[in-house]
Amino acid sequence: MSRTILVAGATGNTGRNTVARLSKLLANGALPGHRVLALTRSSQSPAAQQLSALPGVQVLEKNWPEITAAWLRDHQVVRAFIASHVGPRQFPDESSFHLAALHAGVQYVVRISTTAANVRPDCPAYYARQHWAIETMLDTPEFAALQWTSLQPNTFTTFVLQPAVELIKQYRETGKQDTLRLTASPDALVGVIDGDDVGAVAAHLLCQEDPAPHNRARYVLNGPEDLTGEQIVKLVEGYIGTRVEKVVYKDMSFVDQWAAADPGSASLTMSVKHAVEPGWEGKCSASTTSKEVLELCAPTRTPVDVLKKMLGE
């Protein structure tokens, strides 16, 4: 069996292009003798079927929190990518994955973190504290044998632009507008990044002949251009050919719905409202991108590019 690069969350926001770019890099001669094992919860989904058609890729239906050291050894996993969920079980689930990787002798893991300014022990948003806890654990001497890199995207373009997409589609279908509710502030510059660009960076890291220069690194990722709430409004108006009638900036009301759907974790879920505050404070501009990211695989997809894709154009 070939040595394996495992991708946990292969059909997710960042996992899809991690797999696709790994397939291309391996086909072009990177890391001879390696293959990609892409994990998904549904191997019959359209996304999974597309990945299974790529050279050097095997798609496997498995719930990654159930992975053990024995399973990793059986599949000859030597490198891995993980984009964890952000639920209350993130720390126990992801820490168990890294522990299994350590005991299985996995050489290198690339993980997806969150907004760099939030990864600290006193962040009001609970899930960011979990990312801090994971990185702190991995930094301990006990985990010295496991090399790792943590990617910290400030925010995803698709998340920021989704309300704009919904209003454009609504207006095209009905000629009417609902309120445009944006998480962005009117004027704070935020270097939103497309998930595919994050996946490309992850793939290039995983294909490094020697990952040691990136070991224990935390890299900040942004897209090539900053975006403000006012710029989003202008983009929408360009598509619908008229003014946006009503805009609400800094809107986090959707979190209330998330909390209502899971009453047992409502207080944790409500803390997510604090996650965007660094962006509103101007701490997440494209200027914060780590130089190593720009040297390795500079993000290229602009907000306009992503908006067109989301609209199917």
Residue 198 pLDDT class (50, 70, 90 cuts): very high
Residue 218 has pLDDT above 80, yes or no: yes
Mean pLDDT of all residues in 106-121:
98
**Residue environment code for 205-222, b if the CB has 16+ CB neighbours within 10 A, otherwise e:** bbbbeebeebeeebbbbb
What would the pLDDT profile of 150-186 be if each residue is shown by its tens digit?
Answer: 999 999 999 999 999 999 999 999 999 999 999 999 9
Annotated domain spans of the chain = 3-153+195-221+286-299, 157-189+225-280
Residue 227 CA neighbour count, 13 Å, CB half: 30
Q: Which residues contact 167 (CB under 8 A, 6 or more apart)?
A: 177, 178, 180, 236, 240, 244
Q: What percent of the chain has pLDDT over 90?
A: 96
Q: What percent of the chain has pLDDT over 70?
A: 100
Average pLDDT, the chain: 97
Mean pLDDT of all residues in 59-67:
96
First-to-final CA distance of the chain: 42
Mean pLDDT of all residues in 289-299:
98
Q: Please give the pLDDT value at position 145.
A: 98
pTM of the model: 0.96
Residue with tokens 């497309």: 194
Residue 1 has pLDDT above 70, yes or no: no
Q: In a 10 Å sphere around its CB, with 0-12 CB exposed, 13-18 middle and 19+ buried, how is residue 133 labelled?
A: middle
Q: For residue 48, which amino acid is it? A: A
**Which tokens sit at 1?**
């069996």
Architecture of domain 3-153+195-221+286-299: 3-Layer(aba) Sandwich (3.40)
Q: Please give the pLDDT value at position 86.
A: 87
The number of residues in the chain equals: 313
Residue 235 has pLDDT above 70, yes or no: yes
Residue 215 has pLDDT above 70, yes or no: yes
Mean pLDDT of all residues in 221-240:
98
Mean pLDDT of all residues in 215-230:
98
Q: Please give the pLDDT value at position 119.
A: 98
Q: Please give the pLDDT value at position 2.
A: 83
Residue 80 has pLDDT above 80, yes or no: yes
Residue 189 pLDDT class (50, 70, 90 cuts): very high
Task: Choose between 2 and 208: higher pLDDT.
Answer: 208
Mean pLDDT of all residues in 120-135:
97
Q: 84: closest CA among 144, 150, 140? A: 150
Q: Please give the pLDDT value at position 245.
A: 97
Q: Please give the pLDDT value at position 239.
A: 97
Mean pLDDT of all residues in 201-208:
98
Q: Where are the beta strands (DSSP E) in 116-232?
A: 147-153, 180-181, 217-221
